[in-house]
Amino acid sequence: GSGGGSTPPEMPREEQQLAHALTTGLEGSSLKKSSWGILVPAMVGGALVALYAVATPFITPALRKVCLPFVPATSKQIENVLKMLQRRRGSVVDIGSGDGRIVIAAAKEGFTAVGYELNPWLVWYSRYRAWREGVHGSAKFYISDLWKMPQLEKKLEVELENDARVIACRFPFPHWTPDHVTGEGIDTVWAYDVSTFRGKEKRP
């Protein structure tokens, strides 16, 4: 049946400006709570993979309380993101997970994936989709307020391990120079190595 599993009609599929940033760190062995209150699981001996989504960097204060419509990730965009995960292991965290399709795709590739989304209808729909796709055991979704997050670019630059990587989709980070770019149009993916944009080694 499809009775409560469809996207609410007020969710248009256009005019949304999202940026996905995928961060992959190679260290970590415990649960770490970030300053914006989201638990980021890190796996022993594996990579910490965190997928972020924020409105166009960085949304003006006047718009922070506006719940913008979302544009779901395209199949090509998901494919480009998964390419960046091919040699990675660990957990995926999607902040601003929309209808959950990137989280679900990552779970199908063997990652433990978690999505955080402001819109509760999308969270429930994502949970339904994960159940329908058979990955509800490894794909979890929670309601979280994106606008409480500090500026993501600075936070990542300060807190990530030096061998981590950040991947942005649809919109590049405004102050970083990408190490790799793939795809075209809305499917474009920009990869940034922390060691490059930080410009120094991080002491252990």
Q: Where are the beta strands (DSSP E) in 18-123?
A: 18-25, 31-33, 39-41, 47-55, 90-95, 112-117
Once rounded to an integer, what is the mean pLDDT over residues 93-115? 85
Q: For residue 67, tell me if it sits in a domain.
A: yes
The predicted structure's pLDDT at residue 194: 79
Domain membership of residue 134 (yes or no) is: yes
Q: Is residue 133 part of a domain?
A: yes
CA dist., res. 162 & res. 37, Å (int): 23
pLDDT bucket at 4, cuts 50 / 70 / 90: very low
Mean pLDDT of the chain: 65
Greatest mean pLDDT range, 4-8, 11-15, 31-35, 148-152: 148-152
Amino acid at 42: A
pLDDT in tens, 113-156: 888 788 888 899 999 999 999 999 999 998 876 555 556 677 77
CATH number of the structural domain spanning residue 130: 3.40.50
Encoded tokens for 185: 């149009």
Give the span between the Cα atoms of 62 and 69, in whole angstroms: 16
Q: What is the pLDDT of residue 97?
A: 81
Q: What is the domain range of residue 103?
A: 19-24+32-169
Domain membership flag for residue 3: no
More reliable by pLDDT, 25 or 99: 99
The rounded percent of the chain whose pLDDT value lies above 90 is 11
Number of structural domains, the chain? 1
pTM (global) more than 0.85: no
Confidence at residue 104, expressed as pLDDT on a 0 to 100 scale: 94
Share of the chain above pLDDT 70, in %: 53
pLDDT for 54 beyond 50 = no
The answer to whether position 98 is within a domain reads yes
Query: Residue 12 domain-assigned?
Result: no
Return the top range by mean pLDDT from 12-16, 47-51, 85-89, 114-118. 114-118
State the Cα angle at 169 between 166 and 175, rounded to 5°: 60
Query: What's the chain's length in residues?
Result: 204
Whether 11 has a pLDDT exceeding 70, the answer reads: no
Residue 63 lies in a domain: yes
Per-residue model confidence as pLDDT tens digits over 143-193: 876 555 556 677 777 777 776 767 677 677 778 888 888 888 878 878 787
